[in-house]
């Protein structure tokens, strides 16, 4: 009989204290938060293509935009970080509360099914904080299939995945008339790393320096080679799914890559600092990152051990050397360098770019994302447009009418999907991690949507 995998510590044991809401701002005191170096880099990525953190709540019901806007206004007042605009220059940049809530926009009836970018041109619209624009908005998309989809969009330079989840819950609480948690945390990822730097063990000097790993991509580019920078994504719903998906997915994706060629495989794993390295609950970027190496002999259990060891070593709190320099590089210069390097980063094997990223967003309850007039049936994330492959998944616990599910979303540059490579991977992923003969799974019928 297969033994269960040990728990990964960064998914928080029940005894770990939950993040605590911060006291709301005193009247007349304006919310201001410094722009961190990582956020500045993310601004450049957003200008290069579109670097958002987006999530879709799909359900049944007719939503009154005015009533939803009123709920958004209440939630934004309790969480002013969602109302910020970018102010200042270079290392003096700040996120400053504008007092203006994110806007709710009701879109016309749509044929978008929520499974991919097909029939969703509105998802291509980019939030533009460098032009003084908002960092978030909300789209209400009534579907021709009878479903209504609420798209919470945000710029990754101002908000991370866990921050967006907090924001979504606050809006739904406000729509139900419940008490809000609220947060006015000004902590940044750099602050958390600074607070924990004394816990980092000294890095041992290797007897012989190892050459940097050159990670191969999970998928191969299309036969015609490089294409203009563009990204496509696919959603898959796993029914009665396998547990401990993060490390199992890493092994699966590594094996998929090595069917094509031998080489190093590694994935970036974001680590949420909230409740782990700090008890503050902020909306801004409070995320560290680990590199998960997947050697040919790796098993899910060995990868759990690797992650746990890196967490014990506070590797997620180890700042990138020289990252503060980014604060003093003009955005126009940063953009020029990023655009020059974009094709090489996406389509060649380099030490700086991993095989992809895997993001576990934990569990989201449908009842907590429902409110009068709207019953949520599915929630899924749309991965950020960066790197050679991004996988974002979240757990949807069972309800009285629905089995336990996982909503998994894959995103790749267009060249990795043109010949059906992504669709084949997604179909195989479903077959591997959905329990057989339980229920139907849904995945985008993407053959006709390839660009």
HEC profile of the chain:
CCCCCCCCHHHCCCCCCCCECCCCCCCCCCCEEECCHHHHHHHHHHHHCCCECEEEEEEECCCCHHHHHHHHHHHHHHCHHHHEEEECCHHHCEEEECCCCCCEEECCCECCCCCECCCCHHHHCCCCHHHCCCCEEEEEEEECCCCEEEEEEEECCCCCHHHHHHHHHHHHHHHHCCCCCCCCCCCCHHHHHHHCHHHCCCCCCCCCCCCCCCECCCCCCCCCCCCCCCEEEEEEEEECECCCHHHHHHHHHHHHHHCCCCCECEEEEEEECECCCECECCCCCCEEEEEEECCCCCCHHHHHHHHHHHHHCCHHHCCCCCHHHHHHCCHHHHHHHHHHHHHHHHHCCCCCCCCEEEEEEEECCCHHHCECCEEEEEEEEECCCCCCCEEEEEEECCCCCCCCEEEEEEEEEHHHCCCCHHHHHHHHHHHHHECCCCCCCCECCCCCCCC
CATH superfamily of 32-200+213-433: Chloramphenicol acetyltransferase-like domain (3.30.559.10)
Cβ–Cβ < 8 Å for 410, 236? yes
Instruction: Report how far Cα 362 is from the mean position of its chain's Cα atoms.
Output: 12
Measure the CA dihedral 44/274/20/305, to 10°.
Answer: 170
Report pLDDT digits (tens) over 398-408: 999 999 999 99
Report pLDDT digits (tens) over 161-199: 999 999 999 999 999 999 999 999 999 998 898 888 889
| Domain boundaries defined on the chain | 32-200+213-433
What pLDDT shows up at residue 297?
96
Cβ–Cβ < 8 Å for 181, 170? yes
Q: How far apart are CA 135 and CA 159, in angstroms?
A: 8
Of the candidates 73, 75, 96, the residue with the CA atom closest to the CA atom of residue 84:
96
List, for the chain, all residue ranges whose pLDDT scores fall below the cut of 50. Answer: 1-26, 439-451
Report pLDDT digits (tens) over 289-322: 999 999 999 999 999 999 999 999 999 988 888 8
Q: How far apart are CA 327 and CA 311, in angstroms?
A: 27
């Amino acid at each position: 009989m297969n033994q269960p995998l040990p728990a990964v510590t960064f998914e928080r044991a029940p005894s770990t204290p939950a993040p605590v809401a911060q006291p709301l701002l005193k009247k007349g005191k304006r919310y201001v938060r410094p722009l961190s170096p990582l956020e500045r880099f993310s601004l450049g990525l957003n200008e290069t293509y579109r670097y958002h953190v987006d999530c879709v709540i799909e359900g049944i019901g007719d939503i009154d935009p005015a009533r939803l806007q009123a709920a958004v206004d209440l939630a934004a007042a309790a969480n002013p970080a969602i109302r910020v605009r970018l102010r200042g220059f270079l290392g003096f940049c700040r996120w400053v509360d504008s007092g203006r809530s994110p806007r709710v926009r009701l879109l016309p009836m749509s044929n978008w099914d929520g499974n991919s970018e097909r029939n969703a041109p509105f998802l291509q619209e980019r939030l533009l904080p460098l032009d003084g624009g908002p960092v978030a908005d909300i789209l209400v998309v009534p579907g021709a299939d009878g479903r209504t989809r609420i798209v919470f969009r945000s710029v990754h330079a101002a908000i991370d995945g866990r921050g967006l989840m907090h924001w979504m819950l606050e809006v739904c609480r406000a729509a139900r008339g419940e008490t809000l948690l609220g947060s006015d945390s000004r902590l940044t990822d750099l602050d958390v790393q600074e607070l924990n730097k004394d816990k980092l063990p000294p890095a041992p000097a290797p007897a012989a320096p190892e050459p940097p790993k050159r990670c191969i991509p999970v998928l191969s580019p299309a036969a015609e080679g490089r294409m203009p920078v563009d990204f496509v994504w696919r959603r898959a719903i796993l029914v009665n799914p396998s547990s401990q998906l993060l490390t199992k997915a890493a092994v699966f994706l590594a094996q998929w890559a090595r069917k094509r060629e031998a080489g190093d495989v590694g994935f970036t794993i974001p680590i949420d600092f909230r409740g782990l390295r700090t008890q503050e609950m902020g909306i801004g970027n409070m995320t560290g990152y680990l590199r998960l190496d997947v050697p040919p002999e790796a098993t899910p259990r060995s990868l759990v051990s690797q992650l746990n060891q890196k967490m014990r070593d506070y590797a997620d709190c180890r700042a990138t050397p020289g990252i503060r320099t980014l604060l003093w590089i003009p955005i126009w210069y940063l953009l020029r360098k990023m655009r020059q390097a974009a094709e090489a980063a996406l389509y060649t094997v380099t030490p700086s770019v991993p095989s992809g990223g895997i993001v576990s967003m934990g569990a989201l309850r449908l009842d907590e994302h429902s409110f009068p007039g709207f019953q949520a049936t599915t929630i899924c994330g749309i991965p950020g447009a960066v790197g050679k492959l991004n996988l974002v998944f979240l757990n949807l616990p069972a309800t009285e009418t629905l089995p336990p599910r996982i909503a998994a979303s894959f995103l790749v540059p267009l060249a990795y999907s043109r010949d059906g490579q992504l669709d084949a991977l997604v179909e195989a992923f479903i077959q591997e991690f959905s329990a057989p003969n339980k229920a139907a799974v849904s995945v985008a019928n993407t053959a006709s949507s390839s660009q």
